[in-house]
Amino acid sequence: MEQNLKLTDSLGVFLSNPSIYCRLIGRLIYLAITRLDLVFAVNILSQFMHAPRQPHYDAALRILRYLKATPGQGLFYPTANSLQVFAYSDSD
């Protein structure tokens, strides 16, 4: 998504087929499991699944263009048994 983009539920025209948007967001949610750089943008776009509009769809397509430009990023978990994952989180 563009930096400083303000998405609202009243800007733009409704999509003629909102199921396309819903399927796209569902697939992006699945991808966000291994692409943590997508989580924020997909979270924002998923808030508009009840009534998606054209700017929401355009932002989702921008995420797809970003994915196409950065194919080597993501998490990879090999099948070796010696893998140990340690995760830390700090939230206020």
pTM, 2 dp: 0.76
Closest by CA to 57, choosing from 68, 46, 69, is 46
Question: Domain residues for 25?
Answer: 18-70
Q: Does 40 reside within a domain?
A: yes
Q: Does 83 reside within a domain?
A: no
Quick one: tokens of 91?
């939230």
Structure confidence at residue 92 (pLDDT): 60
Q: Does 49 reside within a domain?
A: yes
Q: Does 60 reside within a domain?
A: yes
Structurally, the chain folds into a number of domains equal to 1
At 4-17, the pLDDT tens digits run 888 888 889 999 99
At 65-87, the pLDDT tens digits run 999 999 888 777 667 767 677 88
Asked whether the predicted pLDDT for residue 57 surpasses 70, the reply is: yes
Q: Does 28 reside within a domain?
A: yes
Q: Does 91 reside within a domain?
A: no
More confident position, 60 or 9 = 60
Structure confidence at residue 84 (pLDDT): 74
Q: Report CA 14 to chain centroid distance, whole Å.
A: 20
Q: Does 42 reside within a domain?
A: yes
